[in-house]
Each structure stands twice: as structure tokens, then as C-alpha cells.
Amino acid sequence: EIVLTQSPATLSLSPGERATLSCRASQSVGSFLAWYQQKPGQSPKILIYDASNRATGIPARFSASGSGTDFTLTISSLEPEDFAVYYCLHRTNWPPVSTFGPGTKVDFK
């Protein structure tokens, strides 16, 4: 069973600052990793799939990298609407089993 660990649990920043979020897998997941943003009262929204590909309509300030066990989501310059909780997700190929990380909350400093 793959376990995803996210750090930090909370990231306190100001608008305009750079945010760097980490997701670590307990064993290699290749590039099968996605990132989601969730705001209060809303469904999660996909930002990144296949470790580094931005989903449709996602601004260029969101970028991601990594493979194997270590992954990073970077928000180059925080906008007010970016303050939210971010989750990473891995899905195995077959049988399909999905695992979410515990999340990183990006809040106002």
C-alpha cells in the first residue's frame, strides 16, 4: 500500500510570495501523481496530472515537478484566490487504487 506524505501541513504566506509544497510517496509511483486545490465548501479541483502537466484552464503560476517518490507543487506568486488546501493523489494502474495525501493548507500570514 502506497502512503503519500505532504509537507508542510500548513504554509503561512502573503500574496505575491512563492509557495512550495511537497508530496512524498512511500514507494515509487513513477509520474502517476496529481495535485488538487480545495477551497472551503467546494469540491476539489484538479491542477496538475501526470506529475507536471497543468490541467485545462489552470494558470501558469502553478507548476509541478518530480518523479518516483518526491514531488513538488509550486505557486510562483500567490494570488488571493490561491489560499486553499492542496492535496496530492496517486492512482495505481491495475487494480485501480487511489490514495490521497493528507493535504497542505496555504493560509494568510
Asked whether the beta carbons of 106 and 82 are under 8 A apart, the reply is yes
95 touching other proteins, by CB under 8 A: yes
Task: Restricting to residues 29-48, name those near other proteins by CB under 8 A.
Answer: 32, 34, 36, 38, 43-46
Residue with Cβ nearer other proteins (80 or 95): 95
Task: Identify the bridge partners of residue 66 per DSSP, sorted by sequence position.
Answer: 71
Interface contacts to other proteins, rule CB under 8 A:
1, 32, 34, 36, 38, 43-46, 49-50, 53, 55, 87, 89, 91, 93, 95-103
